[in-house]
Structure 1
Amino acid sequence: MLSQSELNSALNYAVRKGSIDIVRTLQQCGARLTYLTFQDAIERGNVALFATFMDYGWNIDSTEFEYPAVANTVSHPDLLRWLLEKGANPNTRSTRALGSCGPKITPLSCAALEPETLGLEILLEYGASMDNEALFHAIDRHMSGTIAHLKILLDHGADINHWTRRWGAPLHFAVRCNTEDKLKYLLDRGADPTIRDLVGRTPAEVALADGKHNLYEILRRLPDAKGICGVVT
């Protein structure tokens, strides 16, 4: 008789091979999903695997492995759409891993990190609530979000001046990330250049303090720039 660990390992192997009948048999015998098996199933993008998991009691909104399936599948549009059709909640936030101090983020924020916008569009189509912090994920230069992501979020009601203790407003974050194109886009969409961060600085003052002179010059040349730019010449 196989141990629980052996059953779980066999399930992982069957998932990686896409062997649905074997997956079903192993689950009948008590094999359990592990983090690795869950991730491998997502990478395969095989709807039949998740249908089988559901047949054996898997909770479609589970955050047992930190992120719910809808957040993990934003780069797998067919699987994402199937999960949402089956009733997955598009707003389920991640949980914090043991020892983590990271934020609990929404599927919408996860989708804003992707190079393509389809995951973002599907979530909004299926009723995802606006998460203003997704703007910051779309701005982050270390990730793959684009101006197209910003446009979709803003067109669906994201607050362009959303303020956080950690990042200030989106304009502050665009300066911090040195993303000139996104800074210009936010300004074109009406972002407020007078807004101040937690320590009282405008985006222009952050740019000046950080030595990002190209961004400072953009902000300095705005109409009525006096008073938001620190030293103005």
Structure 2
Amino acid sequence: MPFASPPSALLTPIENNELATLTSAVQISGSPSLPTLNELLAHAIRHNAIKTIPYLVSLGASPLSDPPFNLLYSPASFPSFQYLVETGMLDINIDDEVIGTFLISAVMRNNKPHVEFCLKHGADANLGTYAFRWSALASAAEYDVNLDIVDLLIAGGADLNSSNALHTAAEKGRHNMVRFLIGKGTNVNAVGFEYCLSDSYSNEAGTALHFAVDANNTEVAKLLIENGADVTIRDVKGRTALERANEKGMDDVRLYLDELSRHEIYRVRRNEKAKL
């Protein structure tokens, strides 16, 4: 819940980015309380009043307090965010357990310049949100961002095989993203979400093909199989992709996998006969 609004004598110089006027107003009004200082810092961040930010921090205001911290995730506050990071007043790898890192937030907004800034200033491309182990790459797949942002993340050290990106792309039916990630060398048979703290994902851990089954997406399943997905791999509950499709009633992908299975059995038997 927000604190009572500071007096206009303190707010107006911040809005005008006038440090000298703010300093005088603070001296006249007396030392503001810590909650008031944090409200003033939030106001400075909201208005990108860069000149006033270090002064308020020197008085005890914290960028990590509420409400300043949440405002830093807003694109409108990016100049303030830049300033705090560049001056060392803010750790770029702070990981909010709901929103995630600043890098993930920039990825979700499909904002390439902000992603570039974060990576340039030490953002860890493999950090994820606390609740879901959600990585920047998985977020890119979730929100189907521009592929040049995905390239930036990979160049910045994002781990393709532990990111859950391919699994997310398969589940969301991101055909182009699936193709792109495979082309970048993602292991098509890697198990995803195995250690996720969200039961809804960890209880369904499996390969990207298993997650394509969950979406009943035949095109993605076909693309994965054409690029080496192993239909015999079992998920965390011991199900093959076909068995998972049967259990979940995903008829489109079930029919495709069933037909593929029949053709595979026929091919194996034909090869066995040829060896006799």
CA spacing shift, 1:89–1:197, aligned 2, 3 Å = closer
Q: How many percent identity over aligned positions?
A: 26
Residue-by-residue CA offset, 1:157-209 (whole Å, 9 max, x unaligned) = 21111125532211111112223332222123221112222333211121122
Runs of 4+ that moved beyond 6 A = none
Show the counterpart of 1:31: 61
Q: Which amino acid aligns with 2:232?
A: T
Corresponding pairs, count: 216
Are 1:72 and 2:101 matched, yes or no? no
Residue-by-residue CA offset, 1:81-106 (whole Å, 9 max, x unaligned) = 01211222222343x3xxxxx33232
User: Please, which runs of 5 or more residues in structure 1 have no aligned partner?
Assistant: 97-101, 227-233
**Which of 57, 70, 80 is the matching residue for 2:89?**
57
Show the counterpart of 1:86: 121
Show the counterpart of 1:107: 136
Counterparts of 1:151-230 in structure 2, within 5 Å, are 151-164=179-192, 165=194, 166=202, 167-222=205-260, 223-224=263-264
Cα RMSD of the aligned pairs, angstroms, is 2.4
Q: Which has the larger radius of gyration?
A: 2
Residues 47 and 82 in structure 1, CA contact (< 8 A), matched pair in contact too: no
Q: Which amino acid aligns with 2:140?
A: A
Residues 108 and 131 in structure 1, CA contact (< 8 A), matched pair in contact too: no
Paired residue secondary structure (2:219):
helix
Residues 27 and 56 in structure 1, CA contact (< 8 A), matched pair in contact too: no
User: Please, which runs of 5 or more residues in structure 2 have no aligned partner?
Assistant: 1-30, 195-201, 267-276
Residues 174 and 183 in structure 1, CA contact (< 8 A), matched pair in contact too: yes
Residues 16 and 44 in structure 1, CA contact (< 8 A), matched pair in contact too: no
